Each structure stands twice: as structure tokens, then as C-alpha cells.
């Protein structure tokens, strides 16, 4: 499910950088800081709805004005998943699972 960011990411604003925001969400759960963060409206997981779909209907009213995005996080060290991160973690948002490593040809 998409992550509900605690703040809107803003390029060029040090405290609003997506990596900084997600690092704060990770720190809230005692996780290491991420090495890299990518986000967007769609998930790489097959069958996952776009982030905008979580704003629809009565349940979506809660997320009005909140920045929602699907997130990929790279950690420098192994982290066991699944994880539940972000401002919506108590409401079913921010559920993440590990992605399989790409196969490498020898």
C-alpha cells in the first residue's frame, strides 16, 4: 500500500527531501536509515492499486491533503520485512514487502 508521508517532499528543501522524510519514519520504528528512496504513483508489485485509488470513497477522506506514494527503499544492511511505515501505518497504509533480487547472468 502507498506510504502516507509525514510531510510533502520538496526538492531543494533539506528537511523535506524524500530520503530525509522516509528516514524519520524508519527511525520511528528503530530501523536503520535508508541508503536510497524512490517513490511514485504506481507500485512495482503486480495487482497493487495506484496511490490515488486510496483517496477514493469515504475511507479516502482521511488522506485528503496528505502526500501518498508507493515507495521503494534500499537499505545498506539487510532489514527483515514486511514493514509498515509512515503516517498512515495504523490505518493500513505503508505496508511494504521485500522485492526479489534481480537475477544476474554469470
Each residue's pLDDT tens digit, 53-106? 988 777 777 887 889 999 999 999 888 888 999 989 988 899 998 887 665 555
**pLDDT given for residue 25 in this prediction:** 92
Asked if 18 and 39 touch (Cβ cutoff 8 Å), the reply is: yes
Look at residue 14 and tell me if it is in a domain: yes
Largest CA distance in the chain: 51
Task: Read off the pTM.
Answer: 0.83
By DSSP bridging, strand 83-84 and strand 68-75 are unpaired
The C-alpha cell 537475477 sits at 103
Q: How far is CA 44 from CA 9, 49, 50, 58, 69, in A?
A: 21, 10, 10, 26, 12
Q: Is 106 a member of any domain?
A: no
* Count of structural domains within the chain: 1
For the cut 60, the answer to whether the pLDDT of residue 8 exceeds it is: yes
* CA–CA gap between residue 9 and residue 37 (Å, rounded): 12
Range of the domain at 35: 3-96
Amino acid at each position: 500500500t502507498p506510504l502516507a508521508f509525514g510531510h510533502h517532499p520538496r526538492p531543494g528543501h533539506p528537511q523535506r527531501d524524500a530520503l530525509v522524510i522516509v528516514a524519520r519514519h524508519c527511525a520511528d520504528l528503530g530501523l536503520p536509515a535508508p541508503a536510497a528512496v524512490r517513490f511514485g504513483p504506481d507500485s512495482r508489485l503486480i495487482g497493487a492499486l495506484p496511490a490515488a485509488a486510496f483517496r477514493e470513497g469515504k475511507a479516502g477522506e482521511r488522506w485528503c491533503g496528505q502526500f501518498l506514494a508507493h515507495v521503494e527503499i534500499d537499505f545498506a544492511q539487510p532489514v527483515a520485512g514486511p514493514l509498515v511505515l509512515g503516517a498512515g501505518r495504523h490505518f493500513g497504509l505503508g505496508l511494504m514487502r521485500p522485492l526479489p533480487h534481480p537475477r544476474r547472468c554469470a
